[in-house]
Amino acid sequence: MIREAVPSDLEAVASLAARLWPAHAPEDLKPEIAELIAARDAAIFLLLADDGSPTGFAQCQLRRDYVEGTGTSPVGYLEGIYVDEAQRRRGCGRALLAACERWAAGCGCTEFASDCELDNDKSLAFHLSAGFSEANRIICFAKRLARP
């Protein structure tokens, strides 16, 4: 079963999000997740196992800035998606993605986009198998400036 997250799901979403983004502890993610659950231009969907326990999530939102490969605004954007290993390869990720796409269409979007790191072959394969087309590849640069 998939349903949209509500404020009482904060602990579960933070725990799942920390598995997707392991550089962050669940406690560190809670403030941002709470904002996203409450926001009108974002949605988080939970995947629930037969026993009702959360086993995956997808976070999407509306982007109004330029999104690679799109020509409209706003664009629905998949910000993150995670499914526990035991639930993978059963269509759960696609079902979470479909929930995000329906939400974005309900917000008036005609396009949906996402991204992944250049070396994330599993994510690339998921996106391509889910009907996304690769729009661009970039390498981003940054450097610190000396203070005057």
Q: Which helix (H) or strand (E) holds 58?
A: strand 54-63
Q: Topology of domain 2-129, per CATH? A: Aminopeptidase (3.40.630)
Output the pTM of the full model.
0.90
Tokens linked to 147: 């203070």
Residue with tokens 């998939």: 2
The pLDDT > 90 percentage for the chain reads 84
- 148 versus 109: which is more confidently predicted? 109
* Of the candidates 65, 69, 92, 70, the residue with the CA atom closest to the CA atom of residue 81: 92
**Per-residue pLDDT tens digits for 15-47:** 999 999 999 999 999 999 999 999 999 999 999
Average pLDDT, integer, range 84-102: 93
* Alpha-carbon distances of 18 from 26, 80, 144, rounded to whole Å: 5, 11, 28
Integer Cα distance of 41 and 61 in angstroms: 6
φ/ψ (deg, to 5) at 80 = -170, 145
